[in-house]
């Protein structure tokens, strides 16, 4: 059964919250993939520490943007 283009749902805009969520998830995947690739090639202990720090840092950023809620500033008179 074919649906006419007149009956499709309207496209919705991507919000900045969704964009930030996807960007931080991509950061986690990319940093993990790079760390894994270089680990397979061979790394020194210092490089291992840097790779762990980068992956943990990207996970921290991803969790922070999902958990923290914006706080409104108090109104001044």
Using the structure block, give the residue that is written with the tokens 């992956």.
55
Q: What is the pTM of this model?
A: 0.71
Whole-angstrom Cα distance, residue 67 to residue 70?
Answer: 10
Is pLDDT at 66 greater than 70 in this prediction?
yes
Structure tokens, 43? 């790394």
Contacts of 40 (CB under 8 A, 6+ apart): none
Q: Is the pLDDT of residue 1 over 60?
A: no
Closest CA to 28 of 16, 39, 20, 17: 20
Q: Report CA Rg, the chain.
A: 20
pLDDT exceeds cutoff 90 at 9: no
Residue indicated by tokens 């996970």? 59
Q: What percent of the chain has pLDDT over 70?
A: 91
Digit-coded pLDDT (tens) for 28-65 = 999 999 999 999 999 999 999 999 999 999 999 999 99
For residues 6-33, give the mean pLDDT.
87
């Amino acid at each position: 059964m074919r649906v006419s283009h007149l009956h499709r749902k309207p496209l919705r805009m991507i919000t900045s919250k969704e964009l930030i969520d996807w960007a931080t998830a991509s950061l986690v995947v990319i940093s993990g993939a790079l760390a894994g690739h270089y680990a397979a090639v061979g790394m020194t202990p210092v490089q291992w520490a840097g790779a762990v720090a980068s992956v943990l840092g990207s996970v921290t950023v991803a969790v922070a943007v999902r958990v923290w809620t914006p706080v409104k500033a108090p109104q001044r008179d």
